[in-house]
Amino acid sequence: MNENEITYNLRENADFDFDGLLIDLSKNIREPQPLISLAEKPIFTRGNISCISGKAKSRKTFLIGLFSAQFLEINDTSKIVIFDTEQAIFHVQKATKRIHRLLEFDDNRNDNRIRVFTLRELTTEKRREFVRNAIQHFRPDLIFIDGARDLMNDFNSISESSELVNLLMNLSSVHNCHICVVLHENKADNSLRGHAGTELQNKSETVISVEADGDVSAVNPKYCRNLPFEKFYFRVNENGLPEYCEPSLKPKNTDKLQELFRELLPENTTLSYAELRSKVMERCEIKDKTAEKKIKTATEEMIIVKNSVGHYHLFVPEYVEETQSNLPF
C-alpha cells in the first residue's frame, strides 16, 4: 500500500461531521444573548466562558453574589448554579444567604432559581464529574465555579489545563449557557496563575480583575472580546451585603503634609530651617535627608513659606495679600 492509498483510507474512514462544523454564510446566526451587561456592554453571553481573577481576600466571592443577584433580578425565570471548591460549608451557606438577601428572598428557604454546591470534600476527579453532571441535569443559564484551580491536580500542566478549558467550552456551547470561573492572580505580576490561567485568558470572552483597596474593591476589564466595560467599584455595606459604590478618595500627600506642618507651625509661629528640620525628623521619626525633602515639597506646594529673614511659617493668603499691597511697585 503506497502513501496515497493510506491517506485515502484515513479520509474515508474518518468519522467527522464536516457539514456540522462548516461555517454556512447562508444561515442567519444570531449574536449570543447577553446574560450580564454593564452600561449596555455585554460581559457574559450564552455559549461562552469567562474568568474572574484577583488576589486572596479581594472579595471575588462577593462579586459573584453581586452579579448573581443582578442577573436573577432581571431574569426571574432563569437559573444559576454556583460551585464552591474552597470554602467550608458554613461560609458557602453564608454567601448563599447573601444572594437571597440581595434579592429580598427568604434566606431560610431554598429557591430553585439558584443552587449552590460545596465541592470541597470531593476529590479533583469527582469535582469535575460533579460539575459536568450538574450542568447537564439542571440546565442553568449562568454558572459560577468559585475555585477553578481545584478542578485540576496541577494547574501548570499543559494537558490538564487544556482538558479543563475544553470541557468548559463544550459545556457552555452544548447547553447554551455561560460559565464563569474564579482563579487567583500571581502575587508578583497580577497575571492569572499557572498554565490554566493562560488557557483561560486565551479562551475567555471576558477576564475580570478584582482588587481590594481598603474597604472598597475595584473591578477592571482585564481582557474583553467585546467592548470593555468601565471600571467600577463595590463595597460591603453595614448589612454585610455587596453594593456598587464610588471609589474611596485617599488623602493626597499634600493633605498629610498640611496636617504635619500645621502641628509644627501653629499660627504666628516661625522657625529657622534647622529648627524646622529637627522638628520634622523628631515628629516623623525620619532622617535629615527625608525631612529636607518634606520641607522642600511643602514649600513648593505653598503649604509653608519663607520670610525675609529666612524663617518658615504656614502659608496665609491674607498675609501675602497684605504684604504685596505694601510693596512699592
Q: Do residues 179 and 168 touch, judged by C-beta distance below 8 A?
A: yes
Residue 275 lies in a domain: yes
Angle at 136 between CA 131 and CA 140, to 5 degrees: 85
* 297 in the same domain as 233: no
User: Confidence band (pLDDT; 50, 70, 90) for 212?
Assistant: very high
Query: For the chain, how many structural domains are there in total?
Result: 2
Q: Do residues 146 and 84 touch, judged by C-beta distance below 8 A?
A: yes
* 150 in the same domain as 43: yes
Q: Which of 192, 225, 245 is the last residue of a domain?
A: 245
Beta 242-245 vs 304-306: how paired, if at all? unpaired
* 184 in the same domain as 53: yes
* 146 in the same domain as 40: yes
Domain, as residue range, for 294: 253-325
pLDDT digits (tens, 9 = 90+) for 11-60: 555 577 888 889 999 999 899 999 999 989 999 999 999 999 999 999 99
Residue 74 lies in a domain: yes
pLDDT digits (tens, 9 = 90+) for 61-101: 999 999 999 999 999 899 999 999 999 999 999 999 999 99
* 157 in the same domain as 113: yes
Q: Do residues 245 and 234 touch, judged by C-beta distance below 8 A?
A: yes
* 215 in the same domain as 295: no
Take residue 203 and report the three cell numbers written for it. Answer: 479562551
Residue 233 lies in a domain: yes
* 219 in the same domain as 183: yes
Percent of the chain with pLDDT over 90: 69
Residue 51 lies in a domain: yes
* pLDDT value of residue 328: 35
Q: Which of 245, 268, 300 is the last residue of a domain?
A: 245
User: Confidence band (pLDDT; 50, 70, 90) for 317?
Assistant: low
CATH number of the domain bearing residue 98:
3.40.50.300
Q: Which of 215, 245, 275 is the last residue of a domain?
A: 245
CATH number of the domain bearing residue 266:
1.10.10.10
> What pTM did the predictor assign?
0.72
* pLDDT value of residue 285: 87
pLDDT digits (tens, 9 = 90+) for 266-301: 888 999 999 999 999 998 989 898 899 899 888 888
* pLDDT value of residue 325: 39
* 263 in the same domain as 241: no
pLDDT digits (tens, 9 = 90+) for 149-208: 999 999 999 999 999 999 999 999 999 999 999 999 987 777 898 999 999 999 999 999
Q: Do residues 198 and 207 touch, judged by C-beta distance below 8 A?
A: no
* 219 in the same domain as 258: no
Residue 23 lies in a domain: no
Residue 160 lies in a domain: yes
Residue 187 lies in a domain: yes
Q: How far apart are CA 133 and CA 128, in angstroms?
A: 9
* 259 in the same domain as 181: no
* 286 in the same domain as 215: no
* 304 in the same domain as 239: no
